Amino acid sequence: MRCAAGWPAVELKLGTPGRWIDYDYEHEHEHEREREDDNGDSMKNAETSFPARWWRVQEDGRIECELCPRRCRLREGQRGFCFVRQNEGGRLVLTTYGRSSGFCIDPIEKKPLNQFYPGSAVLSFGTAGCNLGCRFCQNWDISKARQMDRLADQASPEAIARAAQERGCRSVAFTYNDPVIFAEYALDTAAACHELGVKTVAVTAGYIEPPARAEFFAGMDAANVDLKAFTEEFYKEQCFAELAPVLETLEFIHRETSTWMEITTLLIPGLNDSEAELHRLTEWVAERLGPDVPLHFTAFHPDFKVTELPPTPAAKLQQARRIGLGKGLHYVYTGNVHDPEGANTYCPKCGKVVIERNWYDLGAYHIRDGKCEFCGQTIAGRFGEGAESWGTRMTPVRMS
Ligand code: SF4
C-alpha cells in the first residue's frame, strides 16, 4: 500500500505488545497530504541524510528501528511512522538533522517546568514529525509536518549552544515536536550546550526504547514528560501508542537518572478526565514516583482531529489538582488557564507561597539555597541564587 504522496505504508506495532498491523497512511494523513500537494517539491531540498543510531538489519533485509516502541520495519526507501527516519540504501538515516521549524526564546514556565531555574529564558526549537499520532495534537502543524520546507531554519549543535549562551539563556529545550525522533541531533546539541555550561531540556511523550532511553536522558538536565492519560485504551485509540512504555520511562527517569522531571497531563473532556482515572493516575504518581515530582494538569483546546469537544473548564483542572494533592503530591499545578492558586508553588511543610505566578510572570519568590525562606523545608527542583527575570516574552530567533 502506498499513500498518494508516494510514501509506502510501513508495518507498525500497535496495541497489544507483539502485534503488528498495517497502519493506514491514506486515512490518517489526509491533512498532511493536502498540505504537501501545495508544495511537494520543496521536501527533498530541505532534507539531510544523517546516519541514524539504534537500528538493526533483519533476516529479510528490512531495517528495524529500535529507537521507539513502534519498532518500524522498513524496506529500502521506506520511512517510519515518525516520517523522519528512513531506510536509505540499507542504512537508517535521520532526515531532519540540523534543520528546525524555528527557534524562540521562551520562559521556562512555558515548557512547563515550574521548578527548574524559575524565571529563566530557554532557547526552544523543534524539527518535524512525531512518533505518536495524537488525534488532539496541539502542535500538529509541526508534529505532523511532511512538508519539509516548514524546517525553515538550520543550525549546527555548536551554533545553537553559542546562541543560547550569547542571549543569556539558562537552557536549550528540544520541544514543539518530540525530540526522541531526532535524538542524534538533540544529543549532539546537548553535548555542545554542556561544553558552554548551558542546560538542556526535553519536552517529550517518553515513548522510547530502553537502550536509547538511557543515552537520551543522560544528556538531559530536565524533562517534561507527557502522561497523556492513564488507560491503554486512550493511548491506543487517541495516540496510536501504548501507555506501558511511557510509565516505564517515568520510573526510569525518576530512579535511574539525575534528570529533573515534571509531568504534564492534558485533560480532554470526556476522554481522560473522569474522577476515577484522575484518582488512579495521581495515586500511581505518588506511589511510584513519590510526592516531589511536579504534576501539571493543563487545559485542552479543540484542535487537529478533535474539534467536536469543548475546551477543558478551569473547574475540572482545579478538581484534578485537589485529587492530586489529596494523594499526597506536593506540587500539583493547573495550566493553560488563569488560575493563580493553581499556578503558585507552595512549601509542602508550612504551606506558604514560595513562588508566586501570574501566567508566566513571577511575583514573590521565597526560596533560598533550595529551601523555603519561611520554614527551611527543602523545595524539590533545581534553583539558582534567586528567581531569574526573563518574564513573559517569547522572542523568535533566526539562526541562518
Ligand atoms: S523512531 Fe520513528 S522510525 Fe523509529 S520506531 Fe519510532 S516511529 Fe518508527
Q: What tens digit of pLDDT does each residue of 128-142 get?
A: 999 999 988 877 666
Q: Is the pLDDT of residue 322 over 90?
A: yes
In angstroms, the first-to-last Cα distance of the chain is 39
Ligand 1 atom 3 nearest Cα: 80
Indicate if ligand 1 lies below 6 Å from the C-beta of 14.
Answer: no
Q: Is the pLDDT of residue 58 over 70?
A: yes
Q: Facing residues of 122 across strands?
A: 106, 171
Confidence band for 249, pLDDT divided at 50, 70 and 90:
very high
Of 151-160, 230-239, 259-268, 345-354, minimum mean pLDDT range: 151-160
Q: Is the pLDDT of residue 21 over 60?
A: no
Name the nearest CA neighbour of 52 among 106, 100, 17, 89. Answer: 89
Phi, psi at 332, each rounded to 5°: -125, 130
Distance 137 CA to ligand 1 centre (A): 18
Q: Is the pLDDT of residue 33 over 80?
A: no
Distance 178 CA to ligand 1 centre (A): 11
What are 52's three cell numbers?
541514524
Q: Is the pLDDT of residue 374 over 50?
A: yes
Ligand 1 atom 2 nearest Cα: 82
The whole-number pLDDT of residue 213 equals 98
Tally the C-alpha atoms within 13 A of residue 76's C-alpha that lie toward its C-beta.
4
**Can you tell me which residue has the cell 500497535?**
14
Give the chain's mean pLDDT: 88
Strands (E) across 142-268 are located at 153-154, 171-174, 199-204, 222-226, 260-267
Cα dihedral across residues 281, 282, 286, 289: positive or negative? positive
In angstroms, rounded to a whole number, what is the distance separating the alpha carbons of residues 279 and 142? 33
Cα dihedral across residues 360, 200, 128, 16: positive or negative? negative
Of 34-43, 103-112, 335-344, 366-375, minimum mean pLDDT range: 34-43
Distance 68 CA to ligand 1 centre (A): 5
Indicate if ligand 1 lies below 6 Å from the C-beta of 68.
Answer: yes
Of 9-13, 172-176, 373-377, minimum mean pLDDT range: 9-13
Which of 67, 97, 215, when mutated, tests ligand 1's pocket best, judged by the most ligand atoms within 8 Å of its CB? Answer: 67
Ligand 1 atom 5 nearest Cα: 71
Indicate if ligand 1 lies below 6 Å from the C-beta of 229.
Answer: no
Indicate if ligand 1 lies below 6 Å from the C-beta of 343.
Answer: no
The whole-number pLDDT of residue 136 equals 87
Question: Do 382 and 116 touch, CB atoms closer than 8 A?
Answer: yes
Radius of gyration of the chain (CA): 21
Q: Rounded to an integer, what is the distance from CA 141 to the centroid of its chain?
A: 15
Indicate if ligand 1 lies below 6 Å from the C-beta of 53.
Answer: no
Question: Do 144 and 127 touch, CB atoms closer than 8 A?
Answer: no
* Nearest atom of ligand 1 to the alpha carbon of 92: 3
Which of 53, 82, 144, when mutated, tests ligand 1's pocket best, judged by the most ligand atoms within 8 Å of its CB? Answer: 82
Q: Is the pLDDT of residue 146 over 80?
A: no
Name the nearest CA neighbour of 128 among 43, 191, 64, 217. Answer: 43
Distance 368 CA to ligand 1 centre (A): 43
In angstroms, rounded to a whole number, what is the distance separating the alpha carbons of residues 72 and 86? 10
In angstroms, rounded to a whole number, what is the distance separating the alpha carbons of residues 276 and 268? 14
Instruction: Give the angle 281-217-327 at the CA atoms, nearest 5°.
Output: 20
Indicate if ligand 1 lies below 6 Å from the C-beta of 82.
Answer: yes
Domains, the chain, with CATH or none? 11-94 (no CATH), 101-397 (3.20.20.70)
Compute the average pLDDT of residues 176-194. 97
Q: Is the pLDDT of residue 35 over 50?
A: no
Question: Do 96 and 151 touch, CB atoms closer than 8 A?
Answer: yes
Of 35-39, 44-48, 241-245, 337-341, minimum mean pLDDT range: 35-39
